[in-house]
Structure 1
Amino acid sequence: MTLSTPRTPRIAIAGMAIESSAYAAHRAGHRDFHRLTGDALVARYPFLAPGSPLRDAADWRGVFYARSIPGGAVETQVYEDYRERIVAGLAALHAQVRLDAVYLDVHGAMSVVGMGDAEGDLVTAVRAVIGPDVLVGATMDLHGNISPRFFELVDLPTCYRLAPHEDAWETRERAARNLVAQVREGVRPVRAWVKVPILLPGEKTSTRVEPARSLYASLADVERRDGVLDASIWIGYAWADEPRCHASVVVTGSDADVVAAEAEGIARHLWSVRADFAFVGPPGTLADGVAKALAATETPYLISDSGDNPGAGGSGDVTWTLTRLLAMPELTGADAPLVYVASIFDAGAVEELAAHAVGDEVSVEAGARVDSRVSGPVRITGTLASLTEGDPHAGRIAVIAVGGLRVIVTEFRKAFHAVEDFRALGLEPTTAQAIVTKIGYLEPTLYDIARGWTLALTPGPVDQDLERLGHSRIARPMFPFDTFDADPALLATVKA
């Protein structure tokens, strides 16, 4: 479809991003989100810095953007508030300057209390005020989901090609560049979507290892073919429970036959290697990880408390792992090696600890205030090693020494996924025998320092054992929940 844009394209930026586990007791409220509007939102994107080619290629207008670390479902009133800010901002801007495109920055796995397909709802609301002719591009996480409504209403969806997501900004730039190009050329791309009945956790689909590494690497070759603009694979989000939770392939371009054929080919490739996906790190029990950590001669040894990973939607205050660590005399004795344990959040416990001075003996009950389904609050008795303030996410942070353990208790939710998270507390990661943190696959800086690693298969809201969670709303049959007597059709739906 040919459009007409005889002037500098006017592109609005908006979005709302969070990854929401259906199994987390946490509910995302206003405090969980960092918000940007206007010029501050445009400045968020390094490729839109003043004088950059993309900045000069269009008139970029920041509307409203809210982003949270992963967690539970968003409170209904919070979502409705942010949706209204986006919609009202777009409506006013469109009436003022006539927009050519909307750059939508979302995750793809947001859940809202009482709602299914949150991103579909958001883009429906956006379309209602900008109309059918304005192009919409969406930049997404590969752990997001594509629903029929989302596919129908978004012209240029694309997602990351690396997990961990070291290409996040590269993907956002690619999305912006493609959106500008299509507006300037006055065309609406053709897109093809194939739903693939696979639902796997991110720890089994990391691009650090095969088959995901080669699968995602092949997309660059696909998009260089005549008639193709972009190609993406969404592996989907395993810890939500909605019909849209499954893998998806979307290819966009100018030739309907080509994009359909390429999408179907990628989908068949994905399906053919489904049984080859395995954990990116050595899996094991928590006890396995501790034993290997204590025996390690090269350190630090990393242990992932994967069942309550805030980076995937965990509540962040599940105490199952900490309870067991505190019961191990080899970790709590006077001669025990140094082990960092991150973290649980409990505002009441931190308030109680703040009444003490560093060096005081303390005993506080903490954790499981939000998510007590796996284990209850745990008593931590030791020495207050430090108390810091001002963390933009965690607020006040206390570190309690219990033998060799350094237990981190935060006022609010925080993911300790980088070496700097520990160094900010005076805890040098490279001097520890082991680091136990609520994470799945290791993010880059922790991965770089790890001299050994156990992906501990702990229980929690993002349990790696999906069948233990009890999905009831996903489409069936679905791999690996079901067996297939024959391969699915894997035919593309094409939208021109």
Structure 2
Amino acid sequence: MTRTHHRPRIAICGMAIESSTFSPHRSGWEAFTLLRGNELVRRYPFLRDGAPLRREAEWVGILRAGALPGGAVPADVYETIRTEIGLALEAQGPFDGVLLDIHGAMAVLGYTDAEADLARAVRTAVGPGCLVSASMDLHGNVSRELAEIVDLIACHRMSPHEDDDEARERAATTLLHRIDGAGRPRKAWVPIPVLLPGEKTSTRLEPAQGIYEDVARVGALDGVLDASVWVGYAWADEPRCRATVVVMGDDDALISREAERLARRYWDARDEFEFVTPAGTYEECLAAVLASDARPFVLSDSGDNPMAGGAGDVTWTLARLLAEPVFAVPAEAGGRSAIYASLPDPEAARAVADAGVGSVVEVTAGARVDDGPHGPVTLRGVVEHVRTDDPLAGKVCVVAAGGLKVVLTERRRPYHLESDFTAIGLDPRGTDVVIVKIGTLETELYDMAEDWMLMLTPGGVDQDLLRLRHTSLGGPVHPFDDDEAFGEGPDLTPTLL
């Protein structure tokens, strides 16, 4: 059911996670933070007390389940959340609109298009007359079914994501404007058979920079309500995984023309996308570090990036670092200083924490979840720091093995901020090389690094996509297929929804 009056009621709900189907990790209940009611509403800066948008509607927090990227979600976890959202929407309705907060790359065991399934459940609960606006990550996937079920859809326009709150605010504002009387817009939807990692589509450089500037220009045209380009999610093997354009508005000819033009521009640039920074093998990156005076020199251990869906406990890179003579002795003895962040292992982290600061420890750690590239490592060294109350990682220990300081955690945790390091007694700015499980550096790391490279390492989010062996993309997709597979080129004619 829906209701109409001068101050609309809008529900907020969703389930947001980026899930690699190539990782053995499973994102169970422990991975998710559940927000309901006013706690959910206040999550969004543009809906906090005193914000103009807050006063324009009655915002009702239903349920949002959010998690760090990881592996696929067990079906029972997803279905329980989906059921609660549907029942709460029915019980607390009627609503004029729904702000559906999703990522677009959630993999659920037994499903091939989890976000479309969730959107269908929301639609069933609120009825056909309620407007549903989906806010998404640009690394999500937009199947035709998802685009048909929701009324409005939009994504970020920056990578790294410095505009995530702005994108959600845009989706909420557009929803309010259409509730006021204009109703559902038309959508020109174009899937593009290109699937690239986010590290090749950073808006810090061309061609993505120019493409997303064009997206903003199209979105501001008279007759266009909004425009979005999704890169897609490269580390899932599902038919929906590919780039997509959606342009919304009330002028069919205009939105079709602009959607096709954006899709053509993306397709034509497919071979121009390059890694956001120089990339190389472990050996190439180490050689560059040793030849450089840059400090800190940051290396992305990209294949096991937990913020892209990696298990986080792959030991392939750490095993090599522990065997490097240059890190075997401290800097004051002629070696190089390094930080490795991080390696999750609950049992090892608890054992080191119990041993305490100053203790000499020897533990076997890592590869408890993803042991494909390399098995557990033996970590020998002196405990330099212990923290027992990290809100994400639980127990966190720093073990110094010569000049290499290894961050050992009880749970998976990203290290993106300088304070992440200083909180455990580390000085990244004063360290020769900082190795982080990440892809594109987040803004603070990027600003801190005097130089950096992307290591092409193995794992569930391997940047070398051909090593992952996708089999279920449902047709030719670049770069998995050569240009001959596309004949004279793909059909980029928009479908009007």
Per the TM superposition, whether the score is higher than 0.5 is yes
Runs of 4+ in 1 over 6 A off after TM superposition: none
Deviations, residues 383-410 of structure 1 (Å, cap 9, x unaligned): 0111101111111001100011010110
SS of 2:294's equivalent?
coil
Contact kept, 8 Å, 2:207 with 2:272, in 1: the verdict is yes
Q: Distance in 2 between matches of 1:420 and 1:138?
A: 33
Q: Distance in 2 between matches of 1:186 and 1:56?
A: 20
Provide the residue aligned with 1:302 in structure 2: 298
Contact kept, 8 Å, 1:5 with 1:186, in 2: the verdict is no
Q: Distance in 1 between matches of 2:3 and 2:310?
A: 46
Counterpart code for 1:445: E
Is residue 47 of structure 1 aligned with residue 43 of structure 2? no
Deviations, residues 76-117 of structure 1 (Å, cap 9, x unaligned): 1111121112111111111xxx20000011000000112110
Counterpart code for 1:73: A
SS of 1:218's equivalent?
helix
Counterpart code for 2:95: L
Q: Distance in 2 between matches of 1:15 and 1:355?
A: 39
- The range that moved more, 75-84 or 363-372, is 75-84
Provide the residue aligned with 2:15 in structure 1: 16
Contact kept, 8 Å, 2:296 with 2:450, in 1: the verdict is yes
Contact kept, 8 Å, 1:5 with 1:184, in 2: the verdict is no
Question: How do 1:268-287 and structure 2 match up within 5 A?
Answer: 268-287=264-283
Question: How do 1:121-270 and structure 2 match up within 5 A?
Answer: 121-270=117-266
Please report how far the alpha carbon of residue 221 of structure 1 lies from its aligned counterpart in structure 2 after TM superposition: 1.2
Provide the residue aligned with 1:487 in structure 2: 489
Over the aligned positions, Cα root-mean-square deviation in angstroms equals 1.2
Please report how far the alpha carbon of residue 4 of structure 1 lies from its aligned counterpart in structure 2 after TM superposition: 8.4
SS of 1:314's equivalent?
coil
Q: Distance in 2 between matches of 1:99 and 1:355?
A: 53
SS of 1:389's equivalent?
strand
Q: TM-score, normalised by structure 2?
A: 0.97
Q: Distance in 2 between matches of 1:6 and 1:227?
A: 26
Which structure 1 residue ranges, 5 or more long, are not aligned? none
SS of 1:454's equivalent?
strand
Provide the residue aligned with 1:73 in structure 2: 72
Provide the residue aligned with 2:458 in structure 1: 459
Is residue 444 of structure 1 aligned with residue 456 of structure 2? no
Please report how far the alpha carbon of residue 454 of structure 1 lies from its aligned counterpart in structure 2 after TM superposition: 1.3
Provide the residue aligned with 2:386 in structure 1: 387
Which structure 2 residue ranges, 5 or more long, are not aligned? none
Deviations, residues 363-420 of structure 1 (Å, cap 9, x unaligned): 0000000000111000000101111011111110011000110101100111112222
Q: Distance in 2 between matches of 1:186 and 1:211?
A: 35
Please report how far the alpha carbon of residue 56 of structure 1 lies from its aligned counterpart in structure 2 after TM superposition: 0.8
Provide the residue aligned with 2:336 in structure 1: 337
Deviations, residues 440-494 of structure 1 (Å, cap 9, x unaligned): 1111000001111110000111111111101010022111111233111201111
Please report how far the alpha carbon of residue 290 of structure 1 lies from its aligned counterpart in structure 2 after TM superposition: 2.1
Contact kept, 8 Å, 1:161 with 1:216, in 2: the verdict is yes
Question: How do 1:91-110 and structure 2 match up within 5 A?
Answer: 91-94=90-93, 98-110=94-106
* Number of aligned residues: 490
Q: Which residue of the other structure, out of 301, 321, 324, is the alignment partner of 2:320?
A: 324
Provide the residue aligned with 1:293 in structure 2: 289
Q: Distance in 2 between matches of 1:390 and 1:355?
A: 14
Q: Distance in 2 between matches of 1:30 and 1:319?
A: 25
Provide the residue aligned with 1:421 in structure 2: 420
Percent identity, aligned pairs only, is 51
Please report how far the alpha carbon of residue 186 of structure 1 lies from its aligned counterpart in structure 2 after TM superposition: 4.1
- The range that moved more, 373-382 or 415-424, is 415-424
Q: Distance in 1 between matches of 2:158 and 2:184?
A: 27
SS of 1:11's equivalent?
strand
Q: Distance in 2 between matches of 1:185 and 1:282?
A: 50
Please report how far the alpha carbon of residue 28 of structure 1 lies from its aligned counterpart in structure 2 after TM superposition: 0.3
Provide the residue aligned with 1:469 in structure 2: 468
Q: Distance in 2 between matches of 1:65 and 1:306?
A: 29
Please report how far the alpha carbon of residue 298 of structure 1 lies from its aligned counterpart in structure 2 after TM superposition: 2.6
CA gap of 1:200–1:100, structure 2 versus 1, over 3 A, is same
Q: Distance in 2 between matches of 1:270 and 1:291?
A: 35
